A = this chain, B = another copy of it.
Amino acid sequence: MTSDALLERRYRVLGRNSPLFYDKPLHLVRGEGVWLYDADGRRYLDAYNNVPHVGHCHPRVVAALSRQAATLNIHTRYLDENVVAYAERLTSLFDAQLSMAMFCCTGSEANELALRIARDCSGGEGIISTAWAYHGNTAAVMQVSSLFTPEDKRGPHVRTVPVMDPYRDRAGRSDEELSTAYALDVKRAIDSFSAAGVRFAGLLYCTAFSSEGLPTLPAGFMAKALAHVHAAGGFFIADEVQAGFGRLGSHMWGHQKLGVIPDIVTMGKPMGNGHPLAAVVARRELVSGFTSRNMYFNTFGGNPVSAAVGTAVLDVLEDEHLLDNAVTVGAYTLARLKRLAERHALIGDVRGAGLFFAVDFVDDRNAKTPATAQSKRLVNLMRERGVLISRIGIHDNILKIRPPMSFSQQHADLLVDTLDQAMGAL
């Protein structure tokens, strides 16, 4: 089966619009650690995927999955110690207020449930997200996912705040001024709901602002924004699908790095290292209140296999010191990427935290005009040279680099050296 023939078969049964990466799609057959292998046996450094969080096909995670799948796999309407122990372990990673867990299977389901909880417990409908957000694929979640949903399709219960881009917005302003200005955008959205007679329910943010371009936000911004949210009776839903489970290195959760405690937290992708596992963790009174008024059950959510897999992922994160690794290798990679900017005028800004990096391509460093076409070509050139990355940002001009957490300095060198060569070939 050639890759071209496989592509034709795929078009027939999955359609031509089912998303595929790269101008020439990559036909994969195997994964191990930070490496992916294509059908021709060629090896690729995976500097994009966060779902295989502790590494592709990690043997401890696979063993936990296999063992539990051979023992018991059943829904949570029976008592099972695996899910209770995992829920205890998971909630122990949060501030004491965030003491209860509800399990589901995907980040979309987690955000869907979080919206239901925020709306039910606030009595309101109005949700604020950013103007370039993606939170999932259900009807309600798509309404707050402005990246794919134009304003006229978001309905009357959604407001967006402008995408924060300190690299371009700063213009001599202090952290204090910038954070106050950004928080005022939230206040303005709340006021817009009031003016329209829509009761406010909450603010939903990815705590890495990943789709938005991974901005380095001014200190204190989030606390200021939340003061407005809570004063208006709304809840803060922290979407940790991207930032969670130590991706940012210094903290287990993005909201901890932002210095705030959310009311509701959602998590997904990295949680099960590829197994469909997601959750909502929230304040006790929100979970109790919501579930006392609404029946919620998720057949596969929190089954013993998911719990065993989730536990194994936490074990590996701890035992392999992967947060420390993200701090150390992250700092090394960031420094090397910044040095690369000295050699390539195309790089306007390099930023990131832990093992999540953004390289902002510009046509002109003074005007900071986004260099979209070059970033697209670069991503494809990198694929040809055996390194997988992608793009983010409102102009799709920002390289998205987000490897598995077992990424090493050696891998970082390969990534940056390949970037250097590929940019030279642009």
- Residues of chain A having any CB pair with chain B under 8 Å: 1, 3, 6-7, 9-10, 12-21, 25-31, 36, 49, 51-52, 56-57, 59, 61-62, 65-66, 69-81, 83-84, 87-88, 91, 99-102, 104-109, 112-113, 115-116, 137-140, 142, 148, 268-269, 273-276, 287-288, 291-292, 294-303, 305-306
> Quick check: A274 and B31 within 8 Å, CB to CB?
no
> Quick check: A106 and B109 within 8 Å, CB to CB?
yes
25 contacts between A and B (CB under 8 A): A3-B79, A9-B84, A13-B99, A14-B76, A15-B100, A15-B291, A17-B292, A17-B296, A20-B79, A21-B77, A51-B299, A56-B74, A57-B70, A57-B72, A66-B69, A69-B275, A105-B276, A106-B109, A108-B109, A116-B139, A138-B138, A138-B139, A140-B140, A274-B303, A276-B306
Q: How many copies make up the complex?
A: 2
> Quick check: B106 and A298 within 8 Å, CB to CB?
yes
- Separation of A291 and B3 alpha carbons in the complex (Å): 23
Contacts known (A138-B109, A288-B15, A291-B15); A71 close to B30, Cβ less than 8 A:
yes
Known: A10-B79, A28-B74. 4 other contacts (CB 8 A): A13-B91, A62-B66, A73-B275, A137-B297
Query: Which of A6, A79, A83, A84 neighbours the largest number of chain B CB atoms within 10 Å of its CB?
Result: A79
| A-B CB proximity, top 4 nearest | A17-B291, A73-B274, A66-B66, A276-B300
Main secondary structure of the interface of A (DSSP, over half): mixed
- Separation of A61 and B84 alpha carbons in the complex (Å): 26
Chain B proximity of A289: nearest CB distance (Å) = 10
> Quick check: A74 and B276 within 8 Å, CB to CB?
no
Chain B proximity of A148: nearest CB distance (Å) = 4
Q: Which residues of B contact A87 (CB under 8 A)?
A: 13-14
Q: Which residues of B contact A268 (CB under 8 A)?
A: 299
Q: Which of B1, B18, B25 contacts A81 (CB 8 A)?
A: B1
> Quick check: A269 and B299 within 8 Å, CB to CB?
yes
- Separation of A231 and B304 alpha carbons in the complex (Å): 47
- Separation of A76 and B13 alpha carbons in the complex (Å): 13
Q: Which residues of B contact A148 (CB under 8 A)?
A: 294-295
Minimum CB distance partner of A298 in chain B:
B137
Minimum CB distance partner of A306 in chain B:
B276
> Quick check: B69 and A62 within 8 Å, CB to CB?
yes
> Quick check: A52 and B27 within 8 Å, CB to CB?
no
